[in-house]
Amino acid sequence: MSDSATNNSSPAPARIIADSETFDGLRQRIRDRFARLSPHLQRIARASLEEPNGFALNTTAKIAADLEIQPSTLIRFAKEFGYSGFSDLQRVFRQRLIEGEPTVRERVYSEETARPAPPNIGDLLKTCVTAHVAALNDLLKNCDTANLARAVEMLRDARHVYIAGLRRSRPIAAYLAYALTRSERASSLLDFAGGMAGPQIATIAPDDVLVAIAFPPYSRPVVDIVLDAYVSGRRVLVITDGPDSPLAKNAHLSLYVDAGAASAFQPISGAIGLMQTLITALNWVPKSG
C-alpha cells in the first residue's frame, strides 16, 4: 500500500486529534507505527519518545537542527499521524507538561505566571517518601511471583550475567551488578558510554543471560541491545513497566514494576526492592539438619 493511501486512512481528522488526543495515546501510536516509518521519520519518532520535554519547549527550527533534518520533515511527521502541522502535534507535548510537571510548566508560561515560593522541605520529604512507599506497596501487591521465581532460576543457571540500564535505570542496573559481584557471580555492566555495549553482546554465550532495565521513554540503546540479543537466540530477562514495553516484546521473561508516580522524579524503590528479592533468593541456602 502506498504512503498516500496510508495517510488517507487516518482514523480521525486532524482537528479532532489535535483537540482530543493525549500524550499517552500519541506515544502509543508512534510506537505502533515506528517500524513502518522512513528512516528520517524514525529519527523524529525516537527523539519524541526519548526527549518529550524538548519537543514541547523548543522551536521547530531548533528541533530540526538538533536532529539534522529539514523543518519540513517535522511537518511531514505531524501529518503522518493525522495533524495539520507540527505546531498542532507540539500542543500534545506541551499539554503533557502543563498537566503533569509543575516545574516545567513554569517554563511554558514563564511570561504569564510568577515563580512559586520554595516548597516547605518537610512537606517535600513527606511527598517523596510517600511516593517511594507507594512504589513498594505496588510491587508487593502486583508482582508476579511465579515469574519472579523463574527469574531467580534463570540467574542461578547463568554462566555470566550482562546488565543493561541507562538514565534512571542506571542505578538499578549498577545495584544488580554490585549485588551479583558481592555474591561472587560473574556479571558485567554493559559499557554504553565507551561504545562497547554492542561488542559485549556479540560475545554473549548461550548459557549467559542479559538483564535489561528500562522504563518510559525507554532508552533506545537498551531497546536495541535487547533486540540484538533476542535475535541472536540469547536469553533475555527484562525489568520494565508492562507488556507493551518494547523490551517485553523481545524478552524470554519479563518482570513488571510500576513506573508511574506523583512526583516529578519517579522513584526507583520498587525496582530496587525487586532486585533485592532476586539476590536474596539467589543466595538463599537451606539450613542443614
pLDDT at res. 173: 94
pLDDT at res. 2: 39
Taking the C-alpha atoms of residue 28 and residue 252, their distance in angstroms, rounded to an integer, is: 23
Listed residue (226, 222, 227, 235) closest to 191, CA to CA: 222
* Three-state SS annotation for the chain: CCHHHHHHCCCCCHHHHHHHCCHHHHHHHHHHHHHHCCHHHHHHHHHHHHCHHHHHHCCHHHHHHHHCCCHHHHHHHHHHCCCCCHHHHHHHHHHHHHHHCHHHHHHHCCCCCCCCCCCCHHHHHHHHHHHHHHHHHHHHHHCCHHHHHHHHHHHHCCCCEEEEECHHHHHHHHHHHHHHHHCCCCEEECCCCCCCHHHHHHCCCCCCEEEEECCCCCCHHHHHHHHHHHHCCCEEEEEECCCCCCCHHHCCEEEECCCCCCCCCCCCHHHHHHHHHHHHHHCCCCCCC
Q: Which range in 34-48, 112-126, 152-166 is most confidently predicted, on average pLDDT?
A: 152-166
Does the pLDDT value for residue 126 go beyond 80? yes
pLDDT tens sequence across 162-202: 999 998 899 999 999 999 999 999 999 988 888 888 888 88
Distance between first and last Cα of the chain: 70
Taking the C-alpha atoms of residue 260 and residue 71, their distance in angstroms, rounded to an integer, is: 33
pLDDT tens sequence across 193-245: 888 888 888 888 999 999 999 988 888 889 988 988 888 889 999 999 888 88
Phi and psi, residue 111, nearest 5°: -90, -10
Where along the chain do the CATH 1.10.10.10 domains lie? 3-108
Angle at 156 between CA 150 and CA 162, to 5 degrees: 95
pLDDT at res. 113: 46
Q: Are 23 and 95 in contact (CB under 8 A)?
A: yes
pLDDT tens sequence across 104-124: 445 545 544 445 566 788 888
Does the pLDDT value for residue 281 go beyond 70? yes
Which residues are paired to 255 by β-bridges?
239
pLDDT tens sequence across 54-97: 888 888 888 888 888 888 899 999 999 988 888 888 888 888 77
Does the pLDDT value for residue 103 go beyond 80? no
Listed residue (179, 247, 190) closest to 213, CA to CA: 247
pLDDT at res. 104: 47
- Architecture of the domain made up of 121-282: 3-Layer(aba) Sandwich (3.40)
Where along the chain do the CATH 3.40.50.10490 domains lie? 121-282
Confidence label for 286 from pLDDT (cuts 50, 70 and 90): low
CATH code for the structural domain at 3-108? 1.10.10.10
Residue given cell 519540513 in the structure block: 72
